[in-house]
Each structure stands twice: as structure tokens, then as C-alpha cells.
Amino acid sequence: MSNAPKKNIISYNTKRNRRIEFYVNDAEYGRIENMQSIIGITKSALMRKLIMDIKIKSRPPEKYYDIYHLMQNLTNNANQLARIANSAGSINAQKIDDLLLMVDKCFDMLESLE
């Protein structure tokens, strides 16, 4: 096994001790601020990503996280119902209705993203 340092790997744990200042015009500054707000990171983090050719992804909408948590609850409930059905041989109809309501709510939230 080689102890040589790996190339092309960015370490975000290194101490940043160099400062760079540069000027931009109003249009360039507007683009930087627009990208920063879409991505949801600081200007310095944005510049570091750009100069290191790191693929920049936009931040998902806030509803995404609500849907994500709802889907987590949905899958947890489905697993619990499956476990109950396997051990008892049947499950409560009310629990199935509650699960179906969660599925409907999840689909409604997904449709609202479009």
C-alpha cells in the first residue's frame, strides 16, 4: 500500500490561511449573488467550488425536506404494519387507512412541487 498523497482530492479540513481579493462589475456581482442564493452557500464556498471544478447543485426547495420526512414516516409505518401482519396474521383496518392517508398526502405534496 502506498503512502503517497492522493491527487485531485480536496480537503475541506485544511486551514485556510490565504486571502484573495478581486474586483467584479455589477453584472458579475449580480451573477455571483444569484448563484449563491440558488445554491445556498457562502460566496467564498461558491468561489472555491468554481475554481476546483466541483459540480454545483442547486438547493432543493423547502417542501422537499417535508416530503422526505413524510416518506420516512410512511416507510417506517409500512414496515411496522408488515411486521404486525406477519406475526399476528392480520392487521387493524384503521392502521391501513392511516397509512393510505399518509400515501395520499405524500402524493399531494409531490404534485405541488411541479
DSSP secondary structure string for all residues of 8-70: S---TTS-----------HHHHHHHHHHHHHHTS-HHHHHHHHHTTPPP-PPPPHHHHHHHHH
pTM: 0.47
52-104: per-residue pLDDT in tens?
Answer: 898 888 888 778 888 888 888 888 888 888 888 888 887 778 878 888 888 88
31-48: per-residue pLDDT in tens?
Answer: 999 999 888 889 998 999
Question: Which residue, among 27, 113, 99, has the nearest Cα to 66 in the 3D structure?
Answer: 113
In angstroms, the Cα distances linking 55 to 28, 49, 50, 51, 59 are 20, 7, 8, 11, 13
